[in-house]
Structure 1
Amino acid sequence: MELQQLRYVVAVAETNSFTRAAQQCRVVQSALSHQIARLERELGGKLFERTSRRVRLTPAGDAFLPAARQCLEAADRAAAEVAAAVGVVRGRLVIGLIPTIAAVDVPAALRDFRRLHPSVHVRLRVDASERLIDQVREGVIDVAFLGLPTTAEPIGVQARELATDRLVAVLSPDHPLARESVLDLRRLSGEPFVDFTAGTPGRAQSDQAFAAAGLTRDVAFEVTTPDLMAQLVGRSLGVALLPSAYAPRLAGVVTVEIRDAPLRVEYVVSRLLSRTPAASAFLALLES
């Protein structure tokens, strides 16, 4: 069993395609298919079901994939640790973030990190806070930036609080309430809302605030990104609540302060144990 074979298996599993996996691995497809077939013969079972329309993991492939990823990660970490021992930070850094992160200028941080450590390959993943925490805990992501309501904390990860921010009302410029200097939840509760998907931390902070005030509201539209939220608000389809530090980035809408606004805490989180040299270097940069 060779590391390259494991890389091919992971690539096919992630892309659901031998063709795209070969392109990602920069190898001809016939060579990739041959190596996976060799590995399957050695293991004594098929890892993938192949049809003319799709490729998917078999039960054996599902069982094999986590161990393959762990082996590749261990090999990459071993190489990175050797490089770090002689003063060079290299390897891979996977960063997760929510779309509304505002406490850190992530592009600027990556620019500085790239200048210091050009040998590190960086991957960015945008997702919801609860899934980012899970992925950090599972070792899929090295570092994540997330936001949670004040009633929740990251569990099972190393966490550092970055900032606490109040939510503001986001409205279309022609909305009657857009001319107000300050609002409260009661005045907003009669409006249709555009909000994040139910059950996510981004939604929970607003739901909890209205519930605590004894108010109900109509969430007419559920979306997954703040940009889409702003587009719907800009078309006068509803109002929204977003962090005050992030909302000014949105075009075509106005923001109004909320007197009894919900709060959002931003965190940077990482693994509890065995951080890679690249992750440690990135976290050190954030603290400098």
Structure 2
Amino acid sequence: MTTLRQFEYLVTVVDTGSFTRAAERLYVTQPALSHQIRALEAALGGPLLERLPRTVRPTPLGRAVLPHARAALAETERLHAAARRASGLEDGELEIGTVYSISLGILPPVLRAWRREHPGVRIRLREYPHGDRLRGAMAAGAADLAVGPVPDGWDGPIRELGVEEFVLVLPADDPLAASPYRTVPLAELADRAWVHYAPDNGLAEVLDQACAAAGFHPVAAIRAEQTSAAPLLAAAGLGPALVPATIVPPHSDGVLLRPDPPVRRTLAAYTRTRPDRLTTAFTDLLATHARTDQRA
């Protein structure tokens, strides 16, 4: 039978690269640590660690076990945090996972309002470039609540928050900036070089799919590693950018136009299990801001 303590020992040995350093961090003797690792290996049917001259590395079996060990430890910590929250303690912690564009646009006013109402609750924010990365991290136990695009095939509770509108950003002197209806058919930008996104950024897929629906593939003039850079680069004249309306700075030098057809994606908050009262309260506040903070 495996125990959480054995998982903690395994993870600490891997993270420190040494039985000696792991024993010091865990405040146990090295023989006791080695004994627990051997017991875990016996329970799982094979060696988990390979001792090298200067370090320790996981075996193939160890690498397969590690994500589950980390997830079990993280889930245990969240269990204790949930118990503290349910008992009314003010020193709880809420872990939120999200994608870059949401942490830039929608979350800041929500977190500001939350801090006013719950000043004693700590927020830990984990950011991911892609919705699939967020979904995988959430499944592995990385957060209490995930906020992002609706996840495919998610088994836990999902609460849709609203629709995220996308806008086109063009420099003020662009010929299309004077569009009388403040809209631009995407097909009119087929011959442009775009401010695109890094391949692992989920907004790259949004742009590619929107342009494909308009009958072309966007050529990249530049690829932005940071989501926040896209509207700035577009305003500077490097090419049009398709961005969530909520991430455009209030005093942007660029011109915002609606793409035709509109580009939207549905956002959701989701959890692995039924959310506790504190997580539900945060989701309620988030849903209110997601409905009202749309600038398109």
Q: TM-score, normalised by structure 2?
A: 0.70
CA distance 1:107–1:32, change in 2 (3 Å): farther
CA–CA distance in structure 2, aligned partners of residues 177 and 33 of structure 1: 71
Alignment partner, residue 283 of structure 1:
283
CA–CA distance in structure 1, aligned partners of residues 245 and 123 of structure 2: 32
CA–CA distance in structure 1, aligned partners of residues 83 and 256 of structure 2: 53
Pairs within 5 Å for 1:1-288: 3=4, 6-7=7-8, 9-10=10-11, 16-18=15-17, 31=27, 34=30, 36-44=33-41, 45-47=47-49, 52=54, 56-80=57-81, 82-88=83-89, 92-101=93-102, 105-114=106-115, 115-116=117-118, 118=120, 120=122, 122-147=124-149, 154-156=152-154, 157-180=156-179, 182=182, 183-198=184-199, 201-234=202-235, 236-248=237-249, 253-275=253-275, 278-286=278-286
- The C-alpha deviation readout for 1:65-109, integer Å capped at 9, x for no partner, is 244234424533543454355333765432112222289742343
Matched residue SS, 1:40:
helix
- The C-alpha deviation readout for 1:92-131, integer Å capped at 9, x for no partner, is 4321122222897423433454552725562423331122
- The C-alpha deviation readout for 1:184-241, integer Å capped at 9, x for no partner, is 2122111101222458642333323322232343234333422233454355332211
Matched residue SS, 2:260:
coil
Matched residue SS, 1:193:
strand
Q: What is the identity, as a one-letter code, of the residue corresponding to 2:134? A: L
Matched residue SS, 2:143:
coil
Question: C-alpha root-mean-square deviation of aligned residues, in Å?
Answer: 4.0
CA-CA distance at 1:267 after TM superposition: 1.7
CA–CA distance in structure 1, aligned partners of residues 239 and 29 of structure 2: 51
CA distance 1:8–1:279, change in 2 (3 Å): farther
Q: TM-score, normalised by structure 1?
A: 0.72
Is there any run of 5+ residues in structure 2 with no aligned partner, and where? 42-46, 289-296
Whether contact under 8 Å (2:187, 2:215) holds in the other structure is no
CA distance 1:283–1:218, change in 2 (3 Å): same
Matched residue SS, 1:95:
strand
CA–CA distance in structure 2, aligned partners of residues 41 and 222 of structure 1: 49
CA distance 1:185–1:8, change in 2 (3 Å): same
Whether contact under 8 Å (2:231, 2:248) holds in the other structure is no
Whether contact under 8 Å (1:6, 1:72) holds in the other structure is yes
Whether contact under 8 Å (1:159, 1:270) holds in the other structure is yes
Whether contact under 8 Å (2:129, 2:200) holds in the other structure is no
CA–CA distance in structure 1, aligned partners of residues 238 and 287 of structure 2: 41
CA–CA distance in structure 1, aligned partners of residues 100 and 199 of structure 2: 17
CA-CA distance at 1:254 after TM superposition: 0.4
Matched residue SS, 1:238:
coil
Whether contact under 8 Å (1:167, 1:261) holds in the other structure is no
Q: What is the identity, as a one-letter code, of the residue corresponding to 2:264? A: R
CA distance 1:48–1:159, change in 2 (3 Å): farther
Is there any run of 5+ residues in structure 1 with no aligned partner, and where? none
CA–CA distance in structure 2, aligned partners of residues 50 and 230 of structure 1: 49
